[in-house]
Amino acid sequence: MNLGLTLRPPSSASVDFTAVGENSLDTLVVASGAANVGKQHASALVELPGGQAATAAVAMARLGWRSRYVGAVGNDAAGSTVQRALESAGVTAVLSIRPGVPTRRAVIIVDHATGDRRVYEQRDPALALANNDVPDEVFTDTRILLIDLSDPPAALRAARLARAAAVRTLVDVDRPDPSLAQLFPLIDIIVVPAEALPAIAGTGDVGGGLTRVARESGAAAVIATLGSNGAIALCRGHELRVKAHTVSVVDTTGAGDAFRAGLAAGWLGRGTEDPDLADLLADANLIAGLNCRALGAQTALPQALEVPAHLRGRV
């Protein structure tokens, strides 16, 4: 089934992909199971860059696309690490630096046996983007804009500007928020983890959640990610299911972020054609699966030569 939307041509924008939202310095702890009390051996403990939007931007740059990231960091060591990771990947970083404010951090407990993880995050409210932090054209001089919900007012501003400029939009939502009633109608493709969809949609099941969000938003497609079970989508009343890409899983951190990047890369790779949504979902599952091969959100993001030619950037 075709998505029903096309992209602006490459010459219409300075970058192909812009991600607005969360960045992070993650502390990853690998353990066997979870102890309720007492000490437990950790087989690995490392600090690595992550964050939803930042990881998606790095994924796109590694695939060869012109990629931009927009967000805020503190003027601390963690912020410097985040900035270096973006720049070394070839991402154009539009960063607001907050003196005296800590960069967003997360502690992630990864199960050694399954690669599943639990995330404990901390983000200072002072990292929120103000209107004067970022010029309007950052959100319009792009072909695809990805927004997360780390900063709802900034997300709404970016989505409104993008919609007015005919920029295609994706949203990465993992929790309910009052802003969604305004944000969802501005988004072309909505992506939600399946476990979060009932709470976001106010329903008791994933299928009902997809139907409600699709009806109330008018989005071209609403997608629920299912981890090792792939993804399920609703597009113009038709349901699609696509299997996950099979890999030996080390860590699922960043898999959802890579999924969104794969979706964008597949769309960009098909030029100005109206893409088949099943093909885009297969592309997204491929990039998500490959990212689970190593510890950390960004470590195993694939390089361009690891993926089919249509997913590679044109730069």
Nearest to residue 141, comparing CAs of 92, 186, 95, 185? 92
Helices (H), the chain: 52-62, 77-89, 152-164, 180-183, 197-201, 206-217, 255-269, 277-290
Look up the pTM and report it.
0.96
Confidence of residue 80 (pLDDT cuts 50, 70, 90): very high
Instruction: Decide if pLDDT at 79 tops 80.
Output: yes
Phi, psi of 310 (to 5 degrees): -70, -15
pLDDT in tens, 129-158: 999 999 999 999 999 999 999 999 999 999
Token pair for 83: 């900035």
What is the architecture of the domain spanning 10-22+51-101+129-305? 3-Layer(aba) Sandwich (3.40)
Instruction: Decide if pLDDT at 41 tops 90.
Output: no
Averaged pLDDT of the chain: 95
| Over residues 112-137, mean pLDDT | 94
Sorted by where each begins, the domain ranges of the chain are 10-22+51-101+129-305
Nearest to residue 79, comparing CAs of 58, 100, 61, 97? 97
